[in-house]
Chains A and B, each alone.
Chain A
């Protein structure tokens, strides 16, 4: 296992290198520069601005400058927010996004896996259809719809919870966590139902049942381990996505998270911020995909033997 983890960490280096290089040149290919504005910017002002951020240098020199700074952990200054560094912006947005992501994940895993197990036990009965229909509604209701609907019902009509905010008024974290978690819960429910059905029809489960083990043990101890394999493969990227925030949920609920910065950076052509957010996201993807692969091996010992080989 150690060897496996180590080799994956080593593999991360070329992955990051490719991501950094491709993104660096990709963002500069997109038309429109960071300083274009509705009112035309006078050419001499534009020149001053570009000189300020080294954008007047040849692209390859910009690249070496950037890599040099990056190796020292410096993502550079934001083009959009002149007084801010990218490091500062990410640090400012991360706590709210991570906290929201954590609650959303909690909602997603608890509700999703429970619903998945319940419906897999009696496939094609009411016990299957009801949780799965609820899951389908979760999928059909994208967050740009679910968020406003929840706010309207619970925030404005019933006045149970605040309509927006993050940590300002008690209860303002409930709706964002539900909105963000529900789509993931729906996915997890569907995937775990499928996985469970797959496993429950396998021979070793029959054997376990034949041995007279209590159903609870069979399901939670034996079947669940194999049944959530597809869920775990899904959770890797999902987790990275949850942590870096959701533009939609953060905008609807006025949450000071990373998602808003990430999406706006692309629209604003804030080159350094796009780079910073991409690198940050890539790191999370690598870490969580690795973790999800490790967990998959740990849960399903049948895989162990072969991952040691590769």
Chain B
């Protein structure tokens, strides 16, 4: 097959250069920032995310109403001058609830994904790099965790530890890292035999150094992409778990929960679905553009172009 031969055509100088740039970690990130700044969409995404984060942090001071203040007589009302996003069936201000919901969703999204990311990348890299028996054992553990009944696991967590926001992160992180580990492992496996890794090996670099200087940076592309996919699924999983009683307890809320409730009444009170839905979508689009921008900017090979 032609492509297995093709790497032979590349000169070793390329490999040396690559190795050198990857070694200089700081310049890699500095280069990336320079490249990221040229990507306008990624910057817009970043700006929106920063804005949303700031709003979330300031919410308790800038929210127009209290998130739990009810006006049962008012009930669900359409957007108006007093309530820009309208009110829910309890007469609570939806703008306020979307703002508070964002705090929850962003926190869960970033923290739980972060947990999944760290475990998944480490696990996948080690398994893929080590190969052989270690790989087999590690990946069979992943299989086992996939197979265990998630619902029972959640119910037990709730019973043993009670309601706790930390548990929510734990539960979500525990399931989301599995696919991440599989993806990273498959990526590492295909990288391991590539010339620049072998070159690094022959230069006498330690295993750990190879893993963390060369393998992990080179798997960043799919990892970033999968991360931008994990954040929305984590936010939606949070809605499901909160509904089951793990995590957010009413009257507090999150975007996932607001959307979940909005679906039920989308014909009667569409604004209860539209506004939280928009908030979630805008966040995810921003994340996505930023993720793509980062992916391109961090590509170790991009410097050659």
Selected interface stretch from B88-96, B102-110, B127-135, B245-253 = B127-135
Q: Are B4 and A203 in contact (CB under 8 A)?
A: no
B256 vs chain A, min Cβ distance (A): 8
Q: Mark A26-40, 1 if CB is under 8 A from B, else 0.
A: 110111000000000
The prevalent SS among residues of B at the interface is: helix
Determine whether the beta carbon of B222 is less than 8 Å from that of A142.
Answer: no
B125 interface residue (CB < 8 Å to A): no
Which residues between 19 and 73 of chain A lie within 8 Å of chain B, taking CB atoms?
19, 22-23, 26-27, 29-31
The count of residues in chain A whose C-beta lies closer than 8 Å to any C-beta of chain B is 75
Q: Kindly identify which residue among B7, B221, B259 contacts A145, using a CB–CB cutoff of 8 Å.
A: B259
- In the bound complex, do residue A303 and residue B190 qualify as a contact, i.e. CB atoms below 8 Å apart? yes
Say yes or no: A123-B296 contact (C-beta < 8 A), given A195-B222, A204-B6, A207-B6.
yes
**Residues of B close to A229: CB separation below 8 A:** 186-187, 190
Nearest CB of B to A210, in Å: 8
> A234 to B182, Cβ gap below 8 A?
yes
Q: Are A19 and B147 within 8 A (Cβ)?
A: yes
Are the C-beta atoms of B143 and A310 separated by less than 8 Å?
Answer: no
**Chain A residues with CB below 8 A from B263, complex form:** 144-145, 148
Segment with Cβ contacts to A, from B58-66, B111-119, B227-235? B227-235
Residue in B2, B143, B222, B260 whose CB lies within 8 Å of A191:
B222
In this assembly, does A197 line the interface, its C-beta being within 8 Å of a C-beta of chain B?
yes
Of B24-32, B206-214, B297-305, the one with at least 4 CB within 8 A of chain A: B297-305
B148→A230 contact, CB < 8 A: no
Q: Is the CB of B221 within 8 A of A204?
A: no
Which residue in A27, A202, A285 is a CB contact (below 8 Å) of B146? Answer: A285
CB distance from A127 to the nearest CB of B (A): 14
CA distance A190 to B282 in the complex (A): 17
Choose one: B2, B132, B149; the contact of A26 (CB below 8 Å).
B149
The answer for the CA separation of A19 and B288 in the assembled complex, in Å, is 36
Q: Which one of B2, B4, B153, B187 lies within 8 Å of A230 (CB-CB)?
A: B187
Q: Which residues of A contact B221 (CB under 8 A)?
A: 194-195, 197-198
Residue A94 lies at the interface, judged by CB distance under 8 Å to chain B: no
Name which of A79-87, A159-167, A276-284 contacts chain B. Answer: A276-284
> A133 vs B282: C-alpha distance in the bound complex, in angstroms?
11
Known: A19-B147, A285-B147, A310-B133. A296 touches B2 (CB 8 A): no
B136, A310: Cβ atoms under 8 Å? yes
The closest CB in chain B to the CB of A22 belongs to B148
Judged by a CB distance under 8 angstroms, whether B183 is at the interface is yes
Chain B residues with Cβ below 8 Å from A197 are 221, 295-296, 299
Neighbouring A residues of B155 by C-beta, 8 Å? 30, 266
Contact A23 B6 (CB under 8 A): no
Nearest-CB residue, chain A, relative to B147: A282
Given contacts A144-B263, A237-B146, contact A26 B186 (CB under 8 A): no
Residues of A within 8 A of B302 (CB): 201
Q: Give the distance in Å from the alpha carbon of A8 to the alpha carbon of B179 in the complex.
A: 19
Which residues on the B side are within 8 Å of A234 (C-beta)? 179, 182-183, 226
Question: What does DSSP make chain A's interface, helix, strand, loop or mixed?
Answer: helix
User: Which residues of the other chain, A, contact B14 by a CB distance below 8 angstroms?
Assistant: 203
Q: Are B232 and A139 in contact (CB under 8 A)?
A: yes
B148–A198 touching, CB < 8 Å: no
Of B1, B131, B192, B295, the contact of A194 (CB 8 Å cutoff): B295
- Residues of chain B within 8 A (CB-CB) of A281 are 147
Cβ-defined contact, A302 with B159, below 8 A: no
A123 to B301, CA, bound (A): 16
Q: How far is the CA of A230 from the CA of B120 in the complex (A)?
A: 14
B226 A230 Cβ-Cβ under 8 A? yes
A11 / chain B contacts, CB cutoff of 8 Å: 136, 140
The docked-state distance in angstroms from the alpha carbon of A26 to that of B151 is: 11
At the interface, yes or no: A226 with Cβ under 8 Å from chain B?
yes
B148 pairs with A310, CB closer than 8 A: no
CB distance from B155 to the nearest CB of A (A): 5
* Choice from A31, A230, A303 contacting B183 with Cβ under 8 Å: A230
Indicate whether A267 reaches chain B with its CB closer than 8 angstroms: yes
The reply to whether B143 and A285 contact each other, CB–CB distance below 8 Å, is yes
B281 CB-CB contact with A under 8 Å: yes
Cβ-defined contact, B7 with A301, below 8 A: no
A236, B225: Cβ atoms closer than 8 Å: no
CA distance A204 to B54 in the complex (A): 45
Chain A residues within 8 Å of B203, by CB = none
Do B156 and A29 touch (CB < 8 A)?
yes
Please tell me if the beta carbons of A30 and B190 are within 8 angstroms of each other in the complex: no
Q: Are A198 and B147 in contact (CB under 8 A)?
A: no
Nearest B residue to A211 via CB reads B2
Give CA–CA (A225, B6) in the complex, Å.
15
Can you identify 8 A-B contacts, CB atoms within 8 angstroms?
A: A26-B156, A140-B280, A197-B295, A203-B9, A208-B2, A222-B3, A282-B147, A310-B133
Residues of A that sit less than 8 Å from B by CB: 7-8, 11, 14-15, 18-19, 22-23, 26-27, 29-31, 123-124, 129, 132-133, 136-137, 139-140, 142, 144-145, 148-149, 152, 187, 190-191, 193-195, 197-198, 201-204, 207-208, 222, 225-226, 229-230, 232-234, 236-237, 240, 263, 266-267, 274, 277-278, 281-282, 285-286, 289, 293, 296, 300-303, 305-306, 309-310
